[in-house]
Structures are given as C-alpha cells and as structure tokens.
Amino acid sequence: MKLLFIDVDSLRPDHLGCYGYKRNTSPVIDKIAEKSVRFTNYYTSDAPCLPSRTALTTGKMGIRTGLINHGGEASKLRVSEQDLDFKDNLDRFSFAGIFRQKHMDTTLISTFPERHSAWHFNAGWNQVINVGKLGDEIASDITPLAIEKLKQKEGQDDWVLYVNYWDPHTPYRTPESYGEPFENDPLPSWLTEEKIKEDRKLVDPHSAREVDMFWNRLIPGVPRHPAEIKDMNDMRMLIDGYDTGIRYMDDHLGMLMEELERQGIEDDVMIIITGDHGENLGELGIYAEHGTADKYTCNVPLIIKMPGSKEGHVDNELHYSLDVLPTLCDLLGARKSDDWDGQSYASTLTEGKDNGRDYLVISQNAHVCQRSVRFDNWLYIRTYHDGYHLFDKHQLYDLKTDPHETTDLSDEHPEVVKEAIETLATWHDEMMSKMNVPHDPMWTVLKEGGPYHANGHLEMYINERLIPTGRTEAAEKLRERHPHEIK
C-alpha cells in the first residue's frame, strides 16, 4: 500500500465543492472526490485539536485517555490507560503503529506535536518533519517538503506520507499576494444583516463583537482576519478569509497530485483527505472558532480514494474519525487492538456496505464543557460549563430542517431530549466500565475552574468588554451563573 494522508486543520465539509458549496474553494479535492468514497457524517469524538488528534492516534475516546482539554491536568495522556510494561503500546496500536506492524516506511509532516506538546502523536513514525512554526505555517512552507518526500519514495512500495496543512485555521493568513478569489461571489445566504444585529447582542467569546476570543483587536500581519463583525463587509472578510485559506491549501494539494502523476502512480496511491475538526462561522453565535460540541466544530470531511474502492459512492452513516484505525487494519491485514473504540468501515470502501453507528457522542472541553448526542436528524447538546456563552443546559436542533442550529427545540420535544439523555448515560456507563481507573476527566476540568480557553478570564471579559459595550445585562447573568469565578 502507498498512502497519502492529508489532514487539514479546521476544515468543514460544507465549504468544499464536493459537499455542495457554491464557491470554487476546492477544485483539486473535488476532482479526487469524483473517484472516491465520500462520507457526510464523519465526526471527531473529541474537539478541538489536541483531543481530536489524540483520539485518532490512540483509537480511544478522550474520556478514556483523560486528554480532553488544551491545558491543565486533562491535557495530558493518562498513563493508566496505556498497557505499560517496558513501554506503552503506541508503537504498534496507534495510527502510525499499525503501519509499523507491516514494516512500512512512514513520514509525518506536522508541527502539531510541538504546538500542543503532544509527543505521543509522534509514536510509531519512522520520520517526523517539523517546520518549527507551531501551526502558524502556510501551505507553501509544507508542500516543498512533501514533494521532496514523494520523490524520495519514487519506485518504492509500502509507504505512508501524512501531511498536515493549517491554512483554514484562525487567524486567516493566506498571503495578500494570493489575491481575493471570492470577492465577487455571494456569501452563504443564511448569513444576513439581521443575524449580525442579533449576534452583536450576545455575550460570547469569539462573538460578532469579539472575533479574537475576548478581544476586538486586529492581529498584526494578518490583514484577512477581522476584529469584529459589524456589518456584511466584515462578514465577507471573515468568510472570504476562511475560504481563501481552503483554496490556497487546495492549490498546494494539486502540486502533490502533479508529483504522483509524474511518477505514474496517481491511481495506485490510497488518498485520504480529512481534518481534525471543523469551524463555527456564525453557528451558535460563534465566529472563527472550533469551540463547541456541535456539528460545525465536530463534523469533518472524509474522502477516500484507493485502488479497488467504490467510485463516487456517498456514505451518509454516522462514523467517528477514530474508526479509521480498525478500517486501515482490515485493509492492511494488521492486528487490531481489543481496547480501541473504533469500528471498521472497510466494506463501505470496497463494497459500498453500510457500517454506521446508531448514534455518536461528541465532546468539547477546551472552550466549553459539552457532550452532545448525534442521532437520526437530531443534535442534542448538554452543557456543563458554558465557556461564558450563556448556553442553556439542554439544547436540541433538527439538523434536517435547521442545518445551521438557529432554533433550539428542546422545549418543543422533551421526549427527544429524554431519549438523548438516556443515550448519553448509556454511553457514559460503557466508557467508564472500560477504564483501568474509572474517572471522568471532565470533572477534573470543572474542578480546575473550567475549560482552558475560558478559565480565569471572566472578570476581565466583564469589566473590559461587556460593561464598556453596554452588555451589562449579560454581565450580570454571567456573574450569577459563575459566582465562584469572580475574584
């Protein structure tokens, strides 16, 4: 097997042409998708970056590894969940470890392990290439290294090249010289002046008034990234910035495809295109952040093209991104871990069979503390710490009729909420029963004062942003909800 794995940070499926987007953001990806299996309901189990890629690496959900946050105790891989003897088992039973089992030549090009001190993500790779920019690199920093590796592998079989692009990740930093490819394209129709007006009333980190988390400041050297969303011109700047990042990355992916074509192996290489998480672009009043356990943070694209796979097949079943480990094991004939949480969809690729789940539980504990249940057309969100967004404890959205999560239906459908709560409890019992040390790391996050990206900022946010901008009512609600976080 020859495998090119493309991991694009913050990539949401619905901003790709092959998923129905009207703007021409992804011509290279779209062409690959024509001969691929495309998944529409593929979710990370744990968001954002660090928990997501840890789940991918270990094959386990964050509640079991203990790694669900971006800081504090719950940002560390739980040693008790590893099979310790002389060493843990990530050299064999991790994303890269399964290829080591088959003696494949593997290369990782990513700054992620250093950005988040996630050294476990390096486990199993023969070679790790780090450009040293901690996720601030752009595609032009990465692509020449990837092409060089492809040239080195020319004539070889049994290799894996994992390429991590960051261009759609905030702040949107595609070079000005690239131009404005979408300046004449309309914005998504659901983003309106009325929505901006309503969203500017909200208290929200990464809100219409504070795109840069708690602040409305421009970021030096990043002219594509707005400070706040005051009108449709600012909205265009935000959406164009995100879409331009995708297009810039897509152009560079095209250079990798040209190298495969030069070698005459474009039809022999398995190509996987996916992401670690998506991005909220107005959903739930949040702009330019992957900060909730909702569809737009947790739903990621998955496009798989490989010799012998179904071409043009669309899979609408529910899957976790960590399901890729047992799937690749089935395709490789590698040994699976009995302790993984994944479920193979290999026969979806080869035969078009359905291999989905009845429901998914998706989690976020770095910006808020939420666990959500995705089932049928529903998304139920349970909030344990609101990250200063004033989210209700229970939220329910019908994604078929309300794809951008604008209307909470929890009061109208208590029977659906009850079903979701029972499903969440069943999942929690199952996860706890698998643990060597049955401790839910979310309670560690809550005891530490809340998710990393909110913890310790409440008083500053109230005094320096909310009160000066006239949102005193929201400030008082936050004080009432979080009395122990006010000094």
* Tens digit of each residue's pLDDT (9 = 90 or more) over 185-237: 999 999 999 999 999 999 889 999 999 999 999 999 999 999 999 999 999 99
Better-predicted residue by pLDDT, 182 or 82: 182
Q: What is the pLDDT of residues 149-177, one digit of tens each?
A: 999 999 999 999 999 999 999 999 999 99
In terms of C-beta density within 10 A (0-12 exposed, 13-18 middle, 19 or more buried), how is residue 156 classed?
exposed
How many C-beta neighbours within 10 Å does residue 91 have?
Answer: 14
Q: Which of 80-84, 218-222, 365-369 has the highest mean pLDDT?
A: 365-369
Residue 487: pLDDT over 80: no
Q: What is the pLDDT of residues 414-463, one digit of tens each?
A: 999 999 999 999 999 999 999 988 899 999 999 999 999 999 999 999 99
pLDDT value at position 431? 97
pLDDT value at position 88? 86
DSSP state of 357: B
Task: State how far the alpha carbon of 109 is from the alpha carbons of 22, 192, 194, 244, in Å.
Answer: 31, 39, 43, 22
Q: What is the pLDDT of residues 381-395, one digit of tens each?
A: 999 999 999 999 999
Q: Which residues contact 132 (CB under 8 A, 6 or more apart)?
A: 111, 114
pLDDT value at position 436? 85
How many C-beta neighbours within 10 Å does residue 294 have?
Answer: 28
pTM over 0.95: yes
Q: What is the pLDDT of residues 227-249, one digit of tens each?
A: 999 999 999 999 999 999 999 99
pLDDT value at position 82? 72
Residue pair 323/344 in contact (Cβ under 8 Å)? The answer is: yes
Q: Is the peptide bond before 171 cis (omega within 30 degrees of 0)?
A: yes
Q: Give the sign of the dihedral formed by CA 18, CA 20, CA 26, CA 27.
A: positive
- Is the domain spanning 2-360 CATH 3.40.720.10? The answer is yes
Strands 394-398 and 378-385, sheet pairing: antiparallel
What phi and psi, each to the nearest 5 degrees, are found at residue 375?
-150, 150
What's the mean pLDDT in 247-262?
98
Bridge-partner residues for 371, per DSSP? 363, 382
Separation CA 382–CA 389 (nearest Å) = 13
What phi and psi, each to the nearest 5 degrees, are found at residue 199?
-70, -25
Separation CA 169–CA 188 (nearest Å) = 19
What's the mean pLDDT in 343-351?
97
Domain borders along the chain are 2-360, 362-485
What's the mean pLDDT in 61-70?
97
Residue 486: pLDDT over 90: no
Residue 84: pLDDT over 80: no
Q: What is the mean pLDDT of the chain?
A: 96
pLDDT value at position 61? 97
Confidence band of 87 (pLDDT split at 50, 70, 90): confident
> What CATH number labels 362-485?
3.30.1120.10
